[in-house]
Chains A and B, each alone.
Chain A
Amino acid sequence: MAGSSDPGFDTLALHAGAAPDPATGARAVPIHLSTSFVFDSTDHAAALFNLERSGHVYSRISNPTNAVLEERTAALEGGVGAIATASGQAALHLAIATLAGSGSHIVSSSALYGGSHNLLSYTLPRFGIETTFVPPNDIDAWRAAIRPDTKLLFGETLGNPGLDVLDIPTVSALAHENGLPLLVDSTFTTPYLMRPFEHGADLVYHSATKFLSGHGTVIGGVLVDSGMFDWEAAHAKSGRYAELTQPYAGFHDMVFTEENTVGAFLLRARREGLRDFGACMSPQTAWLILQGIETLSLRMQRHVGNTRKVVEFLSKHAMVGDIAYPELESHAGHALAKRLLPRGCGSVFSFNLKGDRQGGRAFIEALRIFSHLANVGDCRSLVIHPASTTHFRMDDAALAQAGITQGTIRLSIGLEEPEDLIDDLGRALKAAAKAGLQ
């Protein structure tokens, strides 16, 4: 590389992991729709299977198009590498399954995406993995919840849907004091708004379905490793993480930390989790996410700019109660957000609509530009009522713990003209007010 400084974010977003195709000269990343890749010889085949040479064998394990996405995401996050998965949920599962098994325990923020809450609360206990949920910014609760069998601390950069700002420096310091890694869901913030590794997180994943792809077209996930967690030191201290520090009979008796000092986690995740659970990404999906990433910074700037205008409008409207957006001084995480998220707090937020359930229904149905659906991070603006949809399995106590009421409305602000979005919301709020009078 010319010069002595790392390439900047936008350069990495366009070039990391991809060069013109040597076979064809194609400048854009080719989509390699091939299940498998030809060996040069029997020796070459054996060497690839035994990690004596680098290359692709079978697209469940690795694929040239997916590799570009993985390397590019790792570059943007400041990690050592990444694994593309079938969804964000698959990325979360892969992270947990690589480190935890029956008899393991996780400490998690209670402010989570409903799907993550389902996995931790209902599904993983069937496989012997328990989770203790704690308020995201109650550090004493985090500390008290850690047990000898704890393998992982977990939270979201901005907790869904109340946008609780995770105090990553403090929680990661606690994790490291106890020889534990911190896993962070960075979907809402993307590496453009925050790079969690710089604040102490050890593992990051994204639902790439959202802002990374950015166009509401594909389902995918990416799991990234910082390479900075010392699994051997943690094992020596507590006996944890034998999965990475002791011979693994399922793959040539490999000791992953011997094989790759900074890539041991990803090596096992790929050679076991991706191989055996099989939640891999389609190369077509990887290509569409790459298309999104190429314009990530431009889109995030516009997402944040539009959101600020919408929040300002809503904050002055008589039908709007609390707004959960950390850029507002009223938000509990305001000071932390100024420190960790100087570029902005994203474009997903919630507010409480005054009035009754009838008013909420009128609000949703009066919207013309906002789409009523279960997603966020689309270039189009979206709306949903969490209590009846994404979080409907949670009882009132759990909803309250997650900062959700029956009147909570979640918006995902897109890239449309902000004046049109404000007009649309104004009309819907008027409809809600009218419904309340009837």
Chain B
Amino acid sequence: MRLTVDGREAYAYTGGKTFDPALPCVVFIHGAMHDQSVLSLESRYFAHHGYGVLALNLPGHGRSAGPALPSAEALADWVVALLAAAGVERCALVGHSMGSLIALETAARLGDRATRLVMVGTAFPMKVSAALLDAGLNQPLRAIDICNVLSHSTLAPKPSNPGPGTWPFGANRALMRRLQSGYGAAGHGNLFHHDFSLCDRYCGAMEAAERVRCPVLFILGDKDAMTPPKGAQALGQVLRAELVRLPVGHALMSEAPNGVVEALRRFLLPPPAAGVPLAAA
């Protein structure tokens, strides 16, 4: 589904069904150097279980026009604008890693219009090592490899995402390389350094958390080396978040695809009462 947001083209995958703004809506927000495809199983599941699904490509990622926006706050403003363009009044928000910070900021902006907030593989602060940032700036392909290894906890996740026969290391590396080269080819620069710098700089989580009104779920990986679970404790207390821990690394959807879907299912189903389209409001 293609939309125009702030004068630029934006893309959202709708889970294999035509998006209906009259349905309860769930918005999926990917993390750094990712796109909608890392959340395809989750998107399809909820699109076929009573939700209207918008799995976003953030600006400069995949099919959404660049350049990327400079902060989680700016991206949250963009998500709110996208919801208006899609005719969505209320929605649940699910974000992974960098996307979890954007989901948090968006929930803070939506107030009662946010029905649920799920933060997957999250931490605050989401500091990035100086070595990784430096590699991202000067050797982005090397930085992709480092990030890829740190994101996975096993050489044999079962079953793979989206299905058996997928090699998660290779899939993640190829996706990041394609996004990096596509962003550069469009003349926007270094997407890796942009995304990871954004995570590193973000400091507004506690203030945003105070404004969140909806129930919150954290889905964390016990073996997460990028955002270790202990890094989410303080924020979780402020948000009074429910917690699901899975025995995997930062690439939760890749290493525990069914575990993530199941945790989301328990938290998001049955869907709340249908949202009211803006046009009808």
Binding site for B on A (CB under 8 A): 1, 3-7, 11-12, 15-19, 46-47, 50-56, 62-64, 66-68, 70-71, 74-75, 78-84, 226-228, 230, 252-254, 258-263, 266-267, 270
Q: Determine whether the beta carbon of A54 is less than 8 Å from that of B163.
A: yes
Q: Out of A17, A52, A261, name the residue touching B167 (CB < 8 Å).
A: A17
* Distance of A87 Cα from B105 Cα, bound (Å): 52
Q: Out of B62, B146, B165, B174, name the residue touching A228 (CB < 8 Å).
A: B174
* Distance of A17 Cα from B160 Cα, bound (Å): 9
Q: In the complex, given contacts A81-B166, A259-B162, what are 5 additional A-B residue pairs having Cβ atoms less than 8 angstroms apart?
A: A5-B149, A51-B163, A54-B257, A74-B167, A260-B40
Given A54-B160, A55-B258, A261-B35 contact (CB < 8 Å): yes
Given A62-B164, A270-B165, A74-B170 contact (CB < 8 Å): yes
Q: Determine whether the beta carbon of A71 is less than 8 Å from that of B162.
A: no
List of A residues within 8 angstroms of B258 by Cβ: 53-55
* Distance of A53 Cα from B48 Cα, bound (Å): 12
* Distance of A252 Cα from B16 Cα, bound (Å): 8
Q: Determine whether the beta carbon of B178 is less than 8 Å from that of A262.
A: yes
List of B residues within 8 angstroms of A78 by Cβ: 170
Chain A CB count within 10 A is highest, among B40, B152, B170, B171, for B170
**Nearest opposing residue in chain B for A64, CB measure:** B164
Q: Determine whether the beta carbon of A71 is less than 8 Å from that of B167.
A: yes
Q: Determine whether the beta carbon of A259 is less than 8 Å from that of B40.
A: yes
Taking the closest CB of chain A, its distance from the CB of B117, in whole angstroms, is 22
Taking the closest CB of chain A, its distance from the CB of B272, in whole angstroms, is 20
Count, chain B residues at interface, CB 8 A: 42
Q: Chain A contact residues: over half helix, strand or loop, or mixed?
A: loop
In the A-B complex, the 5 residue pairs with the smallest Cβ-Cβ separation, listed nearest first, are: A227-B174, A67-B164, A74-B167, A70-B165, A52-B45
Q: Determine whether the beta carbon of A261 is less than 8 Å from that of B37.
A: yes
Q: Determine whether the beta carbon of B35 is less than 8 Å from that of A70.
A: no
Q: Determine whether the beta carbon of B166 is less than 8 Å from that of A50.
A: no
Given A4-B150, A262-B178, A54-B161 contact (CB < 8 Å): yes
B156 contacts chain A at the CB level, 8 A cutoff: yes
Q: Out of B40, B159, B161, B175, name the residue touching A227 (CB < 8 Å).
A: B175
Q: Out of B40, B155, B163, name the residue touching A62 (CB < 8 Å).
A: B163
**Nearest opposing residue in chain A for B42, CB measure:** A52
Q: How many A-B residue pairs have CB under 8 A?
A: 167
Chain A CB count within 10 A is highest, among B163, B165, B169, for B165
List of B residues within 8 angstroms of A262 by Cβ: 37, 171, 174-175, 178
Q: B121-162 interface mask toward A, CB cutoff 8 Å, 1 = contact, 0 = none? A: 000000000000000000000000110111011111011111
Taking the closest CB of chain B, its distance from the CB of A15, in whole angstroms, is 5
* Distance of A62 Cα from B48 Cα, bound (Å): 23
Q: B176-190 interface mask toward A, CB cutoff 8 Å, 1 = contact, 0 = none? A: 011000100000000
Q: Out of B152, B171, B175, name the residue touching A1 (CB < 8 Å).
A: B152
* Distance of A54 Cα from B150 Cα, bound (Å): 23
Q: Determine whether the beta carbon of B156 is less than 8 Å from that of A1.
A: no
* Distance of A1 Cα from B250 Cα, bound (Å): 11
**Nearest opposing residue in chain A for B40, CB measure:** A259
B218 contacts chain A at the CB level, 8 A cutoff: no
Taking the closest CB of chain B, its distance from the CB of A59, in whole angstroms, is 11
Chain B CB count within 10 A is highest, among A50, A261, A267, for A261
Taking the closest CB of chain B, its distance from the CB of A223, in whole angstroms, is 10
Taking the closest CB of chain A, its distance from the CB of B56, in whole angstroms, is 13
Q: Determine whether the beta carbon of B160 is less than 8 Å from that of A67.
A: yes
Taking the closest CB of chain A, its distance from the CB of B60, in whole angstroms, is 15
Q: Out of A15, A52, A66, A81, name the residue touching B156 (CB < 8 Å).
A: A15
List of A residues within 8 angstroms of B153 by Cβ: 1
Q: Determine whether the beta carbon of B37 is less than 8 Å from that of A259.
A: yes
* Distance of A258 Cα from B182 Cα, bound (Å): 16
Taking the closest CB of chain A, its distance from the CB of B149, in whole angstroms, is 5
Chain B CB count within 10 A is highest, among A3, A71, A78, for A71
Taking the closest CB of chain B, its distance from the CB of A35, in whole angstroms, is 15
B44 contacts chain A at the CB level, 8 A cutoff: yes
List of B residues within 8 angstroms of A226 by Cβ: 174
Q: Determine whether the beta carbon of A80 is less than 8 Å from that of B37.
A: no
* Distance of A228 Cα from B178 Cα, bound (Å): 7
Q: Determine whether the beta carbon of B155 is less than 8 Å from that of A54.
A: no
Taking the closest CB of chain A, its distance from the CB of B228, in whole angstroms, is 14
B28 contacts chain A at the CB level, 8 A cutoff: no
* Distance of A262 Cα from B148 Cα, bound (Å): 15
28 pairs, CB–CB < 8 Å, chain A vs chain B? A1-B153, A5-B146, A6-B145, A7-B155, A16-B155, A50-B48, A51-B16, A51-B44, A51-B162, A55-B159, A55-B163, A62-B164, A64-B164, A68-B156, A71-B164, A71-B165, A74-B165, A75-B169, A80-B170, A80-B174, A230-B182, A260-B40, A260-B162, A261-B62, A262-B174, A267-B162, A267-B163, A270-B165
